[in-house]
Chains A and B, each alone.
Chain A
Amino acid sequence: MAKTVLNIIVTFLILLILQVTVFSHICLFNVAVPFVFLYAILRLPMSLAPSWVMIIGFFSGLFIDIFTDTPGMNALASTILSALRRPVLKMYVNRDDDITSDAPSAKSLGGFTYAKYAFTLILAYCLVLFIIEASSFTGFSLTMMRIVFSTILSFALVLGIDSITGERQNDKKTPSL
């Protein structure tokens, strides 16, 4: 138990620091921003009470906000993502015992279901974030492109992180990325 908690805390710290120092400064082709810290929220155990998940989500978002001077925007998006975690998982998984078991992963849910789960939530996050961020002069098409491409890029990176950490825990194969 203590090991799990420590694991989660370390994951959050590493991803949040990486996000604010590296990934938030990336904007590929002026449209795609990678949000890697979402991985930490996606992998929180399902046994954790929804309120706690939302509070953790809120503060991680706020942390990003403070560094990028976007007060409240990431916080709102990640709060909504945290709130949607359970409903989305219920939508894709029929049996309840699968949901409550532990951290959602490709192993516990099956690769395809897990990918759908991650993609839906990341899409929700990008939708909320970029719609709020869009001000009068950011055109509709640019906002849509940002939503779509940021979602795809973040999704790819989340799966990437997953393949690194997952393999290291299960067998000692070198991570292939």
Chain B
Amino acid sequence: MRNLLNFLIKYSSWSVFIILTVLCLFLIYKDNSYQRYVFLTSANGLSASVYKTTSNVTGYFNLREINDDLNERQAALETELVSLRKSLETAKELLGADSIKLPSLSGYKFITAHVINNSINRPNNYITIEKGSADGIEPQMGVIDRNGIVGIVDVVSDHAARVISLLNSDFKLSCKVKNTSHFGALIWDGKSPEYAILSEMPSHVRFVRGDTVVTSGYSAVFPPDIPVGIIDNGWRDPDGNFSSLKIKVFTDFSTLSTVKVISSPLRKELKQLEEQNSDE
């Protein structure tokens, strides 16, 4: 024992080096279930407050662009509203007012939050937002902005939360081509923050460049038909059974400022079901 202590003291710098290295490797290679280690993520109190302070300044930088986007979106929504009203009226005339049940987003709640930290140039990008469990945000909630989908909530503290960005190798989401039932998995290939890959699409179907891709709604994370992007390019996978599509995403991750976190009415039920399944 004494020899061991002497040895450690004699080579103290080596032992410190080894201990620190092992600690780092542990942090790097531990599995992803570190919900318990909120303090080791950008959602912890200190970094959240630092980022909040800086975003008070940087938040003004892209306002002009964002404003333009919002105006466009508002115009598009107004047009849609008019056409929907029209079709509702015709539908009412055809069927009688009481028999229509419109599929709707009722029950979904949107929580608006400001982005206080964001990166786009790493292989695994995360976003930090300034709302947390105190505002009703929970892990596994979907996040969108005015243009399209942004990511999925990952770690939550009281007043901040970390979002797995679409630009993250851990991100995977079921999406489909609008007005068809062909769906695949949306992933990011790490190359450009403007493009994502829709993989596992059936290879016998021909897709047209410029078609819109939307969420499929096959989970409680995102409601169906949230816009994702448009098809830019496509190719057949080497094994021949599936094809992949290169998607130009609508969301501009470099100017992300205000996002909406989606709380689905089905969340609780689905969670219960999943827990039951994992218990059995």
Contact = CB atoms under 8 A, between A and B. Distances in A.
A54 interface: yes
A162 interface: no
A66 B34 CA distance: 13
A86 B41 CA distance: 32
B146 interface: no
Interface string A73-109: 1011001100100000000000000000000000000
A7 interface: no
B258 interface: no
Given A50-B13, A67-B42, 14 more contacts: A20-B50, A49-B13, A54-B16, A58-B23, A66-B42, A68-B119, A68-B122, A69-B42, A69-B124, A71-B28, A71-B30, A71-B40, A71-B41, A135-B124
Interface residues of A, number: 36
Contacts of A5: none
A69 B169 contact: no
B21 interface: yes
B190 A137 contact: yes
B123 A135 contact: yes
B28 A27 contact: no
A54 B26 CA distance: 17
B121 to A, nearest CB: 4
Contact of B121 (A30, A67, A73): A30
Listed residue (B12, B20, B25, B121) with the most chain A CB atoms within 10 angstroms of its CB: B20
A75 B162 CA distance: 20
A51 to B, nearest CB: 4
B169 A20 contact: no
B190 A66 contact: no
Interface string B113-149: 0000101111110100000000000000000000000
B50 A21 contact: yes
A167 interface: no
A17 B50 contact: yes
